[in-house]
Structure 1
Amino acid sequence: MTDQRELPVSLFGTHIGDLESLGGKALLRWSGDAEERWGLNSAVLSRNLRVSLSSTEQTESFFGALLPEGRHIERLAKDAKTVSSDLLGILGFVGADLAGALSVGDPRSPTEPQTLSIEEVAALLESASGFLVGGGGSALPGFQRKLTLTRDGTNWIRGNGTVPSTHILKPVDVEYRSSVESEHYVLQIAHRLGLAPFETWVEKIGSHEVLVIERYDRHRSSSGTIERLHQEDAGQALGLPWGANDKFERHNSAANLRAVAGLLDTNRSVIDPARYGDRLKLLRYTVLNVAAGNTDAHAKNFSLLHNDSGRTLLAPFYDAAPLALDFSLSTALSMKINGVSQLPDITVDDLVAESEGWGVPADRSTETIARTLDEIIEATRKIRAHTSIEKHVPGYIRGQAQNLNAGKRARISSAIPLMALPRLGTPDTLAEQAGS
């Protein structure tokens, strides 16, 4: 266990306060500089942890959610020579390169960034646990193994706490390539729909197939400088406890889509014609999640972007895969839609009713849903799917979108598990046509 100490916290170049231990928990003590720059109660850091207002519960909810989950945080704590409940000890170890624009801990001595050979990247992937250290550190939340590196042209660079990371690498063993190809395919659809304006690709590195994702919370300026963009996930914004299953609605009723929608468009007046903009975008995310069979759309898989004036916008779509297609996995939604808990049972009427609960007029929702479904169907006909998924994933997503468009439930009727069928749908994609 760590001793009593303080960790400085910086955001947008301002020292906003210090993390300290209080009764075995972390507490953020705000600085006068933060209040002077943004004012009392500003949400520039978090919708739940506002300037000059904090408690241990709010502090731990926000800062704990920056770290990996499950066995990966246990491993990270071991490397930091502490225990997984020691938030200050872990953040002091990896706080140089967190999600968003935040940095925690004393400034590192400048260490020369290291250009990595492909063999060195492969070695790092072998031990990837959502963090990377070496003269500085990096951490990402979640259960899946991840590595954060900086991309410079065709080279991978280890920033060593000096240069921000620009990409996330998700490695899997070669036999599980279909899992990363499936996520890549859904993200390609989102990219085509304008919901995920970042690049993704899959490549083999060492003994792993790796999904590479460009970070949306980083920006490279015209001068080549990498800038950090601040963000928080909806679990942090809603003040959900960290380190448990509170991100799922079945475990915590506060983790629901209506609550996520309530975080959006708060900066617009009631007469502003764009006041539904982010809520309609959230609706498009939800339509894509249903059509794609992504049951894992929980509170931490929606995020907010904060600019340095405190303005909040919905972050891009991310972290989605057709999990419901796998008959060995549950089809239960992480967040209910209009009270419906099973993804295959969702209809357009449920999507409209859910968004009406967010304050969006039914006619705006209906038009948005129809347009999104048409775009998803077209995307599955244009995007090339890898051979490991082309017989099932495009047809599954297209079929569910077509069912919704026809006023039916999303589910594709079959007496046989869908993955056991020789093929789902007709060979409509370019890759399938070429194979035929």
Structure 2
Amino acid sequence: MAHELEVWLFADRVGSLYLTEGRLNFRYNPDWLSRPDAVTLSSSFPLQAEAFDDHQTRPFFAGLLPEGQLRRLIAQHFQVSRQNDFALLDHIGGECAGAVTLLAPGQALSRPAPGNDVQWLSDEEIIAVLDELPHRPMLAGKEGLRLSLAGAQDKLPVIFDGARVGLPLDGTPSSHILKPAIRTLEDTVTNEGFCLALAEVMQLKPARSKVHSVLGRQFLLVERYDRFIDAQGHRQRLHQEDFCQALGVVPEMKYQHEGGPDLAQCFDLVRRMTRPSAPHVLRLLDYVIFNALIGNHDAHAKNFSLLRAGKSAVLAPLYDTLSTAVYPALTHKMAMKIGGKYTFSEVQARHWDQFAEAVRLGKAQARKRVLALAKSLPTSARELHSQDGFAGHAVVERIVTLIEQRCALTVRRLSAPGADAGVETEPVA
């Protein structure tokens, strides 16, 4: 028996997702293929009449869904198997990353009337949502909501108008991602807010964010880079896909040590998909260096994305930049190797050279950029720490100290004659 969901890209029905004997298949609609302006749904789905099998289909569609404990709780709520991507997309695949919507056959895209497209929340209702998310991710099953975002941490697509926070109803595009504190770690809201603000100071073009507090509870609001306001004042979607989706890698293999993408594959993808590619390659280089120096060990391939614009693409803004290295309970292993090393304290000058060679950059060019960021980052971090909103936070002090140590180590190793032969270690991993 076959089950079907229609796959919409923006306002166009581009294909269908099928579940047949427990296996996913995707096929483009013939009408879509006949259009001169037809674009691919994913870099891993070239325009073709033949269907894509489960091995080809699952990375993209499973990549739209929450992961880990969030997936388990959502599946439990709907009484479906946590492995059943199709059933989960049927229930929550309305407002996804990018411009993808999944609907039952024959169901039209909803266009709520103005005034009926947002449920604005009072401060007390925001607190209730924050309390509910750990038990009911994405507010799964709430009337009028079919929301999905990838990742293993609590988050929620919302609409923020500068003063109010609301829930997007009946397929209305959201504007922001609400990220509550991670309960098992200290002050993650301030941590991520600081790291994104620091990336902005360094002119790395991150997703814009702001720390908010309601009735004593903090959360981060991150502006969605895959949404924009058109000339008529309407919020519209931009299509995007993360690097795992684009490379055809299932989300449970997102880490390099699990068989997921390495940095060479990531840089090759950017070269292949962007035109001109040089500015995007250099931005990705900055992202890699920045994540290493701030101690973001969770910078795996799903935390980098491409924004699709017609038949071309650009590198998406930097996002999910949490300094995980300041938490002793979390792994000191980076998500992707730099020159064959997973541990930052082991990265010598020769490993940066090996990284540059692997991603097809000039060694001198890469060293110069690593040194430039390592020399300027500590001062910027210390200055940002002194500003309102970040002063007095213990976790920010630890991040700044870690940055200073990592940058000093990096400058010493890349500058000192004969440093490659040393076996220096870093005080803070």
DSSP 3-state at the match of 1:391: helix
Q: Pick from 78, 84, 95: which aligns with 2:76?
A: 78
DSSP 3-state at the match of 2:188: helix
Spell out, residue by residue over 1:192-231, the C-alpha distance to the aligned partner (whole angstroms, 9 max, x if none): 2232343212223356421221111111234321111111
Structure-2-length-normalised TM-score: 0.86
Identity of aligned residues (%): 27
Distance in 1 of aligned mates of 2:258 and 2:161: 42
DSSP 3-state at the match of 2:25: strand
Residue 334 (structure 1) shift: 1.2
Distance in 1 of aligned mates of 2:155 and 2:271: 32
Q: Pick from 181, 199, 207: which aligns with 1:172?
A: 181
Is 1:126 the counterpart of 2:126? The answer is no
* Contact 1:292/1:397 (8 A) holds in 2: yes
Match of 1:47 in 2: 43
Match of 1:148 in 2: 157
Structure 2 alignment gaps of length 5 or more: none
Q: Pick from 263, 269, 288: which aligns with 2:269?
A: 263
Residue 101 (structure 1) shift: 0.9
Structure 1 alignment gaps of length 5 or more: 420-436
* Contact 2:2/2:21 (8 A) holds in 1: no
Distance in 2 of aligned mates of 1:277 and 1:151: 31
DSSP 3-state at the match of 1:294: coil
DSSP 3-state at the match of 1:320: coil
AA partner of residue 178 (structure 2): L
Residue 285 (structure 1) shift: 0.7
AA partner of residue 124 (structure 1): V
Q: Pick from 5, 10, 14: which aligns with 1:12?
A: 10
Match of 1:434 in 2: none
TM-aligned CA distance change 1:49 to 1:267, over 3 Å: closer
Distance in 2 of aligned mates of 1:268 and 1:217: 17
Q: Once structures 1 and 2 are overlaid, which stretch shifts more, 142-151 or 276-285?
A: 276-285
TM-aligned CA distance change 1:107 to 1:194, over 3 Å: farther
Q: Pick from 392, 398, 406: which aligns with 2:398?
A: 392
* Contact 2:182/2:188 (8 A) holds in 1: no
AA partner of residue 384 (structure 2): I
Distance in 1 of aligned mates of 2:10 and 2:424: 46
Distance in 2 of aligned mates of 1:203 and 1:5: 42
AA partner of residue 293 (structure 1): G
AA partner of residue 146 (structure 1): K
DSSP 3-state at the match of 1:406: helix
Distance in 1 of aligned mates of 2:86 and 2:220: 31
DSSP 3-state at the match of 1:165: coil
Match of 1:381 in 2: 382
DSSP 3-state at the match of 1:5: strand
Distance in 1 of aligned mates of 2:391 and 2:425: 22
Match of 1:137 in 2: 146
Distance in 1 of aligned mates of 2:274 and 2:324: 36
* Contact 1:348/1:369 (8 A) holds in 2: no
DSSP 3-state at the match of 1:266: helix
AA partner of residue 377 (structure 1): P
Spell out, residue by residue over 1:11-52, the C-alpha distance to the aligned partner (whole angstroms, 9 max, x if none): 132211011112212211211233223689x5x321212222
Match of 1:360 in 2: 361
DSSP 3-state at the match of 2:165: strand
Spell out, residue by residue over 1:283-336, the C-alpha distance to the aligned partner (whole angstroms, 9 max, x if none): 1111111111111111111111111x2212211111122222323322111111
Match of 1:371 in 2: 372
Match of 1:316 in 2: 317
Structure 1 vs Structure 2 CA RMSD = 2.6
Distance in 2 of aligned mates of 1:135 and 1:339: 48
Residue 261 (structure 1) shift: 0.9
Structure-1-length-normalised TM-score: 0.85
Match of 1:303 in 2: 305
* Contact 1:187/1:196 (8 A) holds in 2: no
AA partner of residue 129 (structure 2): L
TM-aligned CA distance change 1:369 to 1:117, over 3 Å: same
Q: Which has the higher helix share?
A: 2
* Contact 1:247/1:299 (8 A) holds in 2: yes
TM-aligned CA distance change 1:265 to 1:109, over 3 Å: closer
Q: Pick from 25, 28, 31: which aligns with 1:30?
A: 28
Residue 364 (structure 1) shift: 2.6
Distance in 2 of aligned mates of 1:214 and 1:130: 20
Match of 1:287 in 2: 289
